[in-house]
Chains A and B, each alone.
Chain A
Amino acid sequence: MTPEEILGKLKEIVHTIKPKLDLSNVTLESSLVKDLGIDSLSMLLLSLATENEFGLQFEPDVKFNTIGEVVDYIARK
């Protein structure tokens, strides 16, 4: 999958979690906390859904600040 495809898929997941959020300006630099409003509970949902969608398992201590870092992580797996 290309980084763009991964980002597109992640945006779909975020849309399910936060249907009211405008995702049109989301870039790889967007902050998960400030721009996407991902708190620790919605991070749990995001990571469960991402693991399911991409068939991977995040390492227990992995931390992400931007959506680009999630894309990189998935691309490396």
Chain B
Amino acid sequence: MGNYFYDMLPKEELEQLKHIPTVPEFLGWIEEKWGSLPAESDTKVTYTYSQMCERIGRRRAFLQDAGLAKGDKVAIWEKTSIDAIETFLAALSAGYIGILIPTGLPEQAVKGCCMRFGVSLLAVREEFAAKVADAPCKVVLSSTMADRTAPVAVVDKNDAAAIFFTGGTTGAPKGVILPHRALMRGAFNGCFAPGSQLGYHRMVCLLPLSHVFGLVRSTLSAFYTGSLWYSAEDMKATIGKLPVIKPTLLILVPGLCDILYGLVKMYGPQFLGGNLKMIISGAANVPPRLITAFDELGISLLAGYGMTEGANLTSGNANVLEKPTSVGKIYPGQEVKIVDGEIWFRGDNVFLGYYGDPEATRAALTEDGWLKTGDLGRFDDEGFLYITGRIKNQIILNNGENVSPEEIEEPFYKCAALKDCLVSEMELDGENVIGIEILPQMPAFEGKSWEEVEAFFNRLVDEINCTLPGTHRIRKVIVRHEDFKRTGALKVSRNQK
């Protein structure tokens, strides 16, 4: 089953790669293997693999000196920076559990995370420090390191390594606990793409490190393959530097592919630096039109499918031109089956459970280790997977973020003139957007025209939009005359078809 991916690499490169089950062992391997090659850069400073591993060792010493014990949680509130990735790898290689907090999270929510996850130490970027000085844990600057190095800890591949956030289906985001084996399986599988991959790529981490695809595929796989990883503390400024960085491989979500293609249309292919040969995109549906558009520029846009609970892409498609709607074949180290139409996975890459939520864990993970994805799929006779629908109640945005409709609906129920509402994905000008259907509490509008009712709810949406993160904003509003289809318990049915 794995040959599809193994055969992509030149034989001599395949022989050099080794599947490593834990982060501490991984750091030792990349230091030995890639020592003198450039590893990480913010375009001003570049460190080699040896220097990076030494810096991680000094950060490890700093964390140990802070009095942490194995299994303690270290949260990092940072941008996509060298400090962030080094601190994260220092924590994991010292036997702690790393939590990369999304950069844009409001400070109250950051402190809430520290409380909810029992964080022992929060490492923050200097400009954020004053906002979380009263966090319920020790707060340090993410730039801090000791003047000596500490050795890596011994960890088991099944030990928890990191917690990632994913959109919940009932409101609050869930914490996905990934063990070392899952991160490292994801990182190893990320090494496979058509052609030579070792020791020469330049990659820019345009995805957030708090997204598993940004951390595992765009970062750990970059280090696995001896690539040079560029941080992206300011997304706009970093995109502006692409002509100078000249990336050879980018890991993106479809929304970012669209942006880069838009820039190419406006300013020509040199805007991407002229060396880009391949883009790997996942985390949301990759439209075939983008595959064709990039192909015309001589850039392969390869699609894949994955989820946070599976630590990276679980399938990848290198045959996008022949099968543009497929998410590809299943990566090594995993089993897959379709149960009542739903895709189930099992393997090294599967998570341990949701933090503090045994009920959600039982719903997603069977006793014998199968991850129920909540996505519907089918295989063709050559083993290519196609996603055909979704049974989980989530909206997947083109930036790869998963949002639960309930989270967006919640503020609307504070409006007494609204009886019920339903948020879902809708089509608008050929794009999938977040839309809302609203059922008015009609007595509240006595004597008003329908236009006035619609205008009222459009204003309400505008007001609530201002409080939502940019990606969660509602773009289409439908005010309903007729009641929603309802469930037996008279709740609004999520399936109105």
| A residues whose Cβ falls under 8 Å from a Cβ of B | 13, 16-18, 20-21, 31, 33-34, 37, 39-45, 47-49, 52, 60, 65
7 nearest interchain CB pairs?
A40-B470, A41-B255, A45-B259, A20-B429, A20-B430, A45-B262, A33-B473
Residue in contact with A34 in the complex, picked from B240, B399, B431, B462, CB distance below 8 Å:
B462
Confirm or deny: B239 has a beta carbon within 8 angstroms of a beta carbon on chain A: yes
| B residues whose Cβ falls under 8 Å from a Cβ of A | 234-236, 239-240, 255-256, 258-259, 262-263, 265-267, 398-399, 428-431, 433, 458, 461-462, 465-466, 469-471, 473-475
| Dominant secondary structure at the A interface | helix
B348 to chain A, nearest CB (A): 32
Q: Given known contacts A17-B262, A41-B255, is B433 in contact with A48 (CB within 8 Å)?
A: no
Distance of A14 Cα from B469 Cα, bound (Å): 21
A14 to chain B, nearest CB (A): 11
Distance of A45 Cα from B262 Cα, bound (Å): 7
B258: chain A residues at CB < 8 Å are 41-42, 45
Contact A39 B262 (CB under 8 A): no
Contact A31 B462 (CB under 8 A): yes
Residue in contact with B267 in the complex, picked from A34, A41, A42, A52, CB distance below 8 Å:
A52
Chain A, Cβ-Cβ closest to B235:
A44
Contact B236 A37 (CB under 8 A): no
Contact A37 B263 (CB under 8 A): no
A65: chain B residues at CB < 8 Å are 466
Q: Given known contacts A17-B262, A48-B263, is B433 in contact with A37 (CB within 8 Å)?
A: yes
A42: chain B residues at CB < 8 Å are 258-259
Contact A37 B465 (CB under 8 A): no
A23 to chain B, nearest CB (A): 11
Distance of A39 Cα from B473 Cα, bound (Å): 7
Residue in contact with B239 in the complex, picked from A13, A21, A48, CB distance below 8 Å:
A48
A/B interface sample: 16 pairs, CB < 8 A: A20-B430, A21-B429, A33-B470, A33-B475, A34-B475, A37-B428, A37-B429, A39-B473, A40-B470, A41-B255, A41-B256, A41-B398, A44-B259, A45-B259, A48-B263, A52-B266
